Structure 1
Amino acid sequence: MDKELIAHLNYLLCTKIDRVSAISGGDISRAYLLESETEKFFIKVNGQKNALSMFVAERNGLQTILKTNTLSVPRPFHVEPYNEGGFILMEYVESKTATSKEMALFGRQLARMHQKLGDNGFGMEQDNFIGSLGQSNKTHQDWASFYVEERLLPQMQLAFDKGLLNRTDTPNEEKMVAVCNNLFPKVNPSLLHGDLWSGNFLISNNGVPFLIDPAVYYGHHEVDIAMTKLFGGFGDSFYNSYREIIPREPGEEERMDIYQLYYLLVHLNLFGSSYGPPVKRILSAYF
């Protein structure tokens, strides 16, 4: 990190940063731990032209979750442009390996967050990002139309444009909406994290679950659960405590495939053709 940025951070924080350490912070941005004599902070820096928009969306998502008083998030302090991109400066949360008791707490708190319902239908007032890809949150009153038009179709079109899918792989919109209407129950617009894999939560040293890197919007609560299971799952204590508050509904297994399809399409577009086979399997099986 260059001296000019460190000097600016000293000014913003009204303290002197004594140590800067590079740490893991995702695949997209450079991340650093900042240490003063008495405090620690976390910063992500990105030079891409859309970085400032990404960080503004991240801050807004963190603040949206914070306002629910259900799950903790690192408090965002500053988002600013920097060079061609930008940075986000926030609270640093020291983390540890989760116990089953702490995962049970996480499950209960996530269920409470999912009980926070939107007043304006499915979506969100602002668009945001899933990874580095834009995520449209145009509001719909119908869940199936939202999920097809704002989630599946944009990612399928991007994959087609990149040569990762062809037209024979991609069903038409009418058929997709019809299938989803058949599979989806009556759905309330729950507040979602939107990208809830194991890298996007942590357990603090004092046992408090924190959500990070949100891609928030109002949708079906099963979407977050489907993402938790895409790369291995969060363990029985998490799911059992979640189900005490929000029970399983019939047809969830089939919907899990449809909901994981979105994330597989995102991975296909971000990381390439190795994600093509599972995408094509789900498209073929359901559409």
Structure 2
Amino acid sequence: MDMAYLRAHPEHLPTFLTHQRIRETPVRANISRLTLDDGVSLFAKSWPESSGAAPDGYFAAEAAGLRWLRAAGAVPVPEMIVALPHVIATEWVDEGEADRHAAENFGRGLAALHRSGAEQFGAPWPGWIGPLPLDNTPSDGPWSTWFAERRLLPYLRISADRGALSGADIAVVEEIIKTIEAYAVEEPPARIHGDLWPGNLLWGADGRGWLVDPAAHGGHRETDLATLSLFGGVAQLDVIIAAYRAEWPLAEGWERRVPLHQLHLLLVHTAAFGAGFRAGVMAAASAVLRG
């Protein structure tokens, strides 16, 4: 199987993998590097067989998001080659180091991506973020109401149900949800990655920053910038932000709103992985209330 054949017959990929007709090198759980007969490498992600069938639309959401981000032509996004219910394959990106030039280019590109916009908040496809569904039901806004109802409340409820947050914790986040207009700055929908923690910005050997593993949708551009600073922060973050702001200035007080935008992804972590991420949720919530 070479690239030309795979492009013409993507549905045959699982059969070739089952019969070991493609060289497959494991990278980590359920992720492999595929080497085709013409020497082309691909990044493949599959659903573990031990977990049964993949959730309906799980890989379709990632594929749609990658294609949508790539269509803007603003920042490098791997090309989607195969999108099937149990496996996807994209072009392979060799990893490199983050330098100032790459960070500046990425910051400008991210601004251009956001500026390419979205028709509404949300997306035309059902979403997923990590192992959890993401409600992408399109909305005309305002952003603050949409964010509270679609990005905070669902994961607060899941976190509460699994005991990851205490009653007092839940009350704090509920207060933010009820009064979110006091903390938010409204903007039109931007075309955002949606899950842009540092692990989803891949510094390539080609000297560019690539966007991978999105939960893409129309959202607030400050959300992508805020999540880049989570979990230790991405390399060259100050350079990225400076280049972004030179390309497209941010509304006054954006730094104070960083915890509000981070709260979504932090609640996703308590919902998916439990109380180990409680401290992050409460630190962000407290920062929001302090203003």
What TM bracket, shorter-length normalisation? 0.7 to 0.9
Map 1:47-58 → 2, pairs under 5 A:
47=48, 48=51, 49-51=53-55, 53-58=57-62
In the aligned structure 1, how far is the partner of 2:176 from the partner of 2:138? 18
Contact 2:57 2:126 in 1 (8 A): no
Among the aligned pairs, what percent are the same residue?
31
Look up the SS of the partner of 1:270 in the other structure.
helix
Aligned partner of 1:160 in structure 2 is 160
Structure 1 residues 254 and 237: CA distance shift in structure 2, 3 A: closer
Letter in 2 for 1:64: W
Aligned partner of 1:44 in structure 2 is 45
Structure 1 residues 181 and 87: CA distance shift in structure 2, 3 A: same
User: Structure 1 stretches (4+) deviating beyond 6 angstroms?
Assistant: 10-13
Aligned partner of 1:137 in structure 2 is 136
Equivalent pairs, count: 270
Alpha carbon RMSD of aligned pairs, Å?
A: 2.5
In the aligned structure 2, how far is the partner of 1:87 from the partner of 1:10? 8
Could you tell me how far 1:181 is from its partner in structure 2?
1.0
Could you tell me how far 1:101 is from its partner in structure 2?
0.4
Contact 2:144 2:186 in 1 (8 A): no
Look up the SS of the partner of 1:96 in the other structure.
coil
Deviates more, 1:137-146 or 1:175-184: 175-184
Could you tell me how far 1:204 is from its partner in structure 2?
2.6
Map 1:28-107 → 2, pairs under 5 A:
30-37=30-37, 38-47=39-48, 48=51, 49-51=53-55, 53-81=57-85, 86-107=86-107
Could you tell me how far 1:70 is from its partner in structure 2?
0.6
Structure 1 residues 77 and 52: CA distance shift in structure 2, 3 A: farther
Could you tell me how far 1:12 is from its partner in structure 2?
7.2
Could you tell me how far 1:138 is from its partner in structure 2?
1.7
Could you tell me how far 1:108 is from its partner in structure 2?
0.6
In the aligned structure 2, how far is the partner of 1:168 from the partner of 1:196? 29
Map 1:129-208 → 2, pairs under 5 A:
129-140=128-139, 141-171=141-171, 175-177=175-177, 179-208=179-208
Q: Which runs of 5+ in 2 are unaligned?
A: 1-10
Could you tell me how far 1:248 is from its partner in structure 2?
3.1
In the aligned structure 1, how far is the partner of 2:14 from the partner of 2:150? 41
Contact 1:51 1:87 in 2 (8 A): no
How high is the TM-score relative to the length of structure 1? 0.85
